[in-house]
Amino acid sequence: MARPRAGEGILRRKPIEHIEETEAAEGPRLERTLGLGQLTAIGVGGIIGAGIFTLAGTVANGTAGPAVVVSFLIAGVASAAAALSYAEFAGLIPKAGSAYTYGYAVLGEFAGWFIGWDLLLEYTAIVAVVAIGISGYFSFLVNAMGADLPAWMLGAPGTGEGHRIDLFAALLCLLIAFLLNLGIKNAARFETVVVVLKVLVVLLVIGVGVFHINTANYHPFFPYGVGGAFTGAATVFFAVFGYDAMSTAAEESKDAQRHMPKAIIYSLVISMVLYVAACLVLTGMQNYRDIDPESGFSTAFESVGLGGLADVIAVGAIIGILTVMFTFMLGVTRVWFSMSRDGLLPRWFAKTHPTRHVPTRVTWIVGVASAAIAGFLPIGEAAELTNIGILLAFVVVCTAVIVLRYRRPDLPRSFRTPWMPVVPGLGVVFSLWLITFLQWQTWVRFAVWFVVGLVIYFAYSYRHSELARR
């Protein structure tokens, strides 16, 4: 077999017109069972969750104050620019892998590898962050019932006296892995039902909380300065892009070319309206200094004498945030599956269950890895770890959609990103700008992961990829 030249190798691209045919002959495929409603539910499930129930309180308390609503709006604008780019690609390349597949097809193999390797870490970390957020509400609920749990199981080391592991968060990660392994059809039904329950809880929070707003709590609106709102945007950013992980399910959609673009846009619009309303209620009910960073809404309602409703919110948060874990674990397993099917990682990982048609092996590996992160890392460190990779993924996708529009204007597109190239250009600028607000420790962790990826790519992937073998 001829050895590919270096430049030819790292820049070789998957042929867009033949992706469907070539992958049909290359190995395992996923089952197409998801409709528009289920896809939208998966998107909403991925976006609404820790952002409202956990990070809103965390950012309001220590980073932005009442301006947390501005943080979400900034993150939402940046996310919307990228969402429109994702929507164009989702209709054009309806395959598993999302940003990895888009980058591979347009910018070349190395760009695809970079973003795929990046997403493996980021999505896994997001699952862990969300599990930690649920654990905070679980602890609130247990305390409200008058029970005491051993300190060793209540949090990661360093988060409290006697804390050794966040056991509940770790077990949740393993539970989601189990649900995904039941098959995408059954798992999506569970996701849809829980998303409906979650939205109802958020509407309950907004509908009741609005009558307990004290406008004095909005002053000062920028207690940490305008910079605090931007720093908060970088932190909450991962809470407004669940559609990215949802797009990895394109290969499991009944009509991806028509449904995926709609599902991406619908899920982001629904979620942003609920985010803004919920943040205004939270910071209006309680002074930002008194908001609990881990169970903000429950403690806010308790502070105005609605302890019973606080318990309902805690239960709703536990159930609802499960959908975020579901969406992102679905995302990381489909990216891993695609990379393995393409030969960039060992094909052993692309093995699917003979009857359920899901990548069982990678699902359990991700479940165990996310459980380890959730059990032993504080939520702040884990949350920042997720954002740099997703922002870089947005840069790749927004750049790729511009390149492909001018390189191949003839390709049939079921959705076209408006105001080209301004919208995707804004996505690139916003994403790079938000990256500058992340802590230096985040850059160090990302750099280590990237170096490990480089070693694997040039030692294995470069010569074992399907395009190299051809």
pLDDT at site 380: 66
Output phi, psi for 209, to 5 deg: -65, -30
Alpha carbon 30 to its chain's center = 21
Q: How many angstroms separate the Cα of 458 from the Cα of each of 182, 372, 444?
A: 35, 28, 21
Domains of the chain, first to last: 31-469 (1.20.1740.10)
375: CB partners within 8 A, 6+ apart: 156, 165, 166, 167, 169, 170
Give exposure, 177-214, as e/b (b: 16+ Cβ within 10 Å).
bebbbebbeebbeebbebbeebbebbeebbebbeebbe
pLDDT at site 404: 92
pLDDT at site 381: 66
How confident is the model over 259-277, as pLDDT tens digits?
Answer: 989 999 999 999 999 999 9
Position 1 pLDDT exceeds 90: no
Classified as helix, coil or strand, 292 is coil
Output phi, psi for 34, to 5 deg: -95, 135
Average pLDDT value over all residues in the chain = 84
Output the CA torsion sign for 309, 314, 317, 319.
negative
Position 360 pLDDT exceeds 60: yes
Instruction: Give percent of the chain with pLDDT exceeding 70.
Output: 91
Q: What secondary structure letter does DSSP report for 253?
A: B
Apex 324 CA angle, 321 and 330, nearest 5: 145
Position 368 pLDDT exceeds 90: yes
Position 64 pLDDT exceeds 80: yes
Preceding peptide of 421 cis, ω within 30°:
yes
Q: How many angstroms separate the Cα of 232 from the Cα of each of 59, 338, 372, 459?
A: 6, 33, 26, 39
Helix, strand, coil % (nearest 5) of the chain?
A: 75, 0, 20
Preceding peptide of 412 cis, ω within 30°:
no
Residue among 20, 18, 6, 12 at smallest CA distance from 104 = 12
Cα distance between residue 45 and residue 464, in whole Å? 36
pLDDT at site 402: 94
Q: Is-contact 254 35, C-beta < 8 A?
A: yes
Q: Half-sphere exposure (CA, 13 Å, Cβ side) for 203?
A: 7
Cα distance between residue 131 and residue 125, in whole Å? 10
Confidence of residue 94 (pLDDT cuts 50, 70, 90): confident
Output phi, psi for 154, to 5 deg: -100, -5
- Amino acid 229 reads A
Cα distance between residue 374 and residue 166, in whole Å? 7
Q: What is the DSSP string of 400-457?
A: HHHHHHHH-TTS--SS--SSTTHHHHHHHHHHHHHHTTS-HHHHHHHHHHHHHHHHHI
Cα distance between residue 430 and residue 82, in whole Å? 10
How confident is the model over 276-326, as pLDDT tens digits?
Answer: 999 999 999 999 999 887 677 878 888 888 877 877 777 777 777 788 888
- Amino acid 55 reads L
**What is the Rg, in whole angstroms, of the alpha carbon atoms belonging to the chain?**
21
Cα distance between residue 95 and residue 251, in whole Å? 5
How confident is the model over 219-255, as pLDDT tens digits?
Answer: 999 999 998 998 888 778 767 877 877 888 888 888 8
Alpha carbon 408 to its chain's center = 30
How confident is the model over 378-421, as pLDDT tens digits?
Answer: 766 666 666 677 788 889 899 999 999 999 898 888 889 999 99
How many residues does this entry show for the chain?
Answer: 470
Question: Which is more confidently placed, 153 or 28?
Answer: 153
